[in-house]
């Protein structure tokens, strides 16, 4: 007798594998593989999370109402045009479910976030990668990848794992070159780390235009990755479509409570950004000083490229770091077989990983 079979294509989906968190035989590891917050969450967020224990028996507020209002206040947005999700991943997933299906195409960049292709394929749409130039998203190749079947264009700005970004004028040119029936999704997972004057988080476009959605997360600078909470904003019609697809209680009460306190503590965000900026500068200078190529200088990680052959390959570097209890992230799944993505950690972790890489590069 025939056994249950998933829909065609389901078993072809690649499994998303998160950053490693363990090394066999090492009890205290330094985990720099998932771009988690170097300074952890705001103490106010932790206090709000702890206070939420009093309400564990109650269902959370389904539409995350108070959280949407807090986000709207901080970012000067309309709360009716914000949707909260189980991480911003859920918003990316809902966008694919709402706007793409079999026969459709979803465009993203060659070294773009893997999840876009996985979610596109999960709804039966075809993932289409546009080439990058010098590990940076390129408007012309993105526009050239668009066909009459294109429904969504995803761009992480800045991008993971390259650490590069598309400046404001280029982002506007990308939007200007797209048909209005294509949704442009600007994934701002690392937006809060940005300090470049020509950077644009896209929120102005999401406020004003009928086909731009911006997503943000509490997993990165806010340090609440375990609570799984993120949000998106865009035109009313798009948010309305996503609202109909999301599970009724997709964000938990403790996650909402912690995120409200976190978004209100912009002083903590500023402190985390300053910490990141300082170490990013140090890391790039030291890695380049060791002869390693580093292109991206943004977000909260660095991704040096190691020689493809010889004694200083990425495989050797990764093994060396692990021997010192440090976990970084290989990114061959992103088409970058010789790069190692290393999150900026706290003072101690970042100093240690840079010292370790120096020892690795200088050993005979």
Ligand X SMILES: *Cc1c(COP(=O)(O)O)cnc(C)c1O
Report the interface residues with ligand X, using CB under 6 A.
35, 87-89, 113, 156, 160, 187, 189, 217, 219-220, 225, 230
Buried b or exposed e, range 196-218, using 16+ CB within 10 angstroms: eeebbbbbebbbebebbbbbbbb
Question: In angstroms, what is the minimal distance from the CB of 13 to ligand X?
Answer: 17
Residue (109 or 160) nearer to ligand X, CB: 160
CB within 8 A of 164, min separation 6: which ones? 132, 134, 135, 136, 137, 158, 295, 296, 298
Residue (17 or 58) nearer to ligand X, CB: 17
Residue (189 or 303) nearer to ligand X, CB: 189
Residue (88 or 109) nearer to ligand X, CB: 88
Question: In angstroms, what is the minimal distance from the CB of 363 to ligand X?
Answer: 32
Give the strand pairing for 326-327 and 30-31: parallel
Of 173, 175, 163, 256, residue with least CA distance to 209: 175
Residue (115 or 356) nearer to ligand X, CB: 115
Residue (183 or 189) nearer to ligand X, CB: 189
Question: In angstroms, what is the minimal distance from the CB of 229 to ligand X?
Answer: 7
Indicate the residue whose CB is closest to ligand X: 87
Residues 53/286, Cβ–Cβ less than 8 Å: no
Residue (150 or 251) nearer to ligand X, CB: 251
Question: In angstroms, what is the minimal distance from the CB of 316 to ligand X?
Answer: 26
Question: In angstroms, what is the minimal distance from the CB of 310 to ligand X?
Answer: 31
Residue (116 or 360) nearer to ligand X, CB: 116
Question: In angstroms, what is the minimal distance from the CB of 308 to ligand X?
Answer: 25
Question: In angstroms, what is the minimal distance from the CB of 171 to ligand X?
Answer: 15
CB within 8 A of 255, min separation 6: which ones? 218, 224, 227, 228, 229
Question: In angstroms, what is the minimal distance from the CB of 212 to ligand X?
Answer: 16
């Amino acid at each position: 007798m025939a056994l249950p079979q998933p829909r065609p294509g389901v078993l072809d989906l690649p499994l998303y594998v998160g950053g490693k968190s363990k090394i066999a035989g090492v009890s205290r590891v330094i985990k720099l593989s998932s771009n988690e917050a170097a300074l952890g969450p705001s103490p106010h967020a932790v206090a709000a999370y702890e206070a939420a224990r009093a309400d564990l028996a109650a269902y959370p507020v389904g539409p995350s109402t108070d959280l949407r209002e807090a986000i709207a206040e901080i970012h000067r947005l309309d709360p009716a045009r914000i949707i909260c999700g189980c991480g911003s991943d859920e918003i990316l997933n809902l966008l694919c479910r709402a706007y793409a299906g079999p026969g459709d195409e979803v465009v993203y960049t060659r070294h773009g976030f893997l999840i876009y292709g996985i979610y596109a394929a999960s709804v039966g749409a075809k993932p289409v990668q546009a080439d990058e130039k010098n590990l940076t998203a390129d408007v012309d190749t993105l526009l050239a990848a668009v066909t009459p079947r294109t429904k969504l264009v995803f761009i992480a700005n800045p991008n993971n794992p390259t650490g590069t970004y598309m400046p404001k004028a280029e982002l506007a040119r990308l939007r200007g070159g797209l048909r209005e029936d294509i949704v442009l999704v600007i994934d701002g997972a690392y937006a809060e780390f940005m300090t470049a004057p020509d950077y644009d988080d896209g929120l102005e476009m999401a406020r004003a235009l009928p086909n731009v959605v911006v997503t943000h997360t509490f997993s990165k600078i806010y340090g609440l990755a375990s609570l799984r909470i993120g949000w998106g904003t865009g035109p009313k019609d798009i948010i309305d479509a996503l609202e109909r697809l999301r599970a009724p209680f997709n964000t938990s009460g403790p996650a909402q409570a912690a995120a409200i306190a976190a978004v209100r503590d912009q002083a903590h965000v500023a402190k985390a950004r300053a910490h990141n900026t300082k170490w990013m500068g140090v890391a790039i200078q030291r890695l380049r000083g060791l002869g390693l190529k580093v292109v991206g200088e943004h977000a909260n990680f660095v991704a040096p490229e190691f020689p493809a052959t010889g004694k200083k390959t990425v495989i050797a570097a990764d093994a060396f770091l692990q021997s010192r209890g440090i976990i970084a992230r290989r990114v061959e799944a992103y088409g970058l077989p010789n790069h190692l993505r290393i999150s900026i950690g706290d003072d101690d972790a970042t100093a240690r990983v840079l010292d370790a890489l120096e020892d690795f590069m200088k050993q005979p």
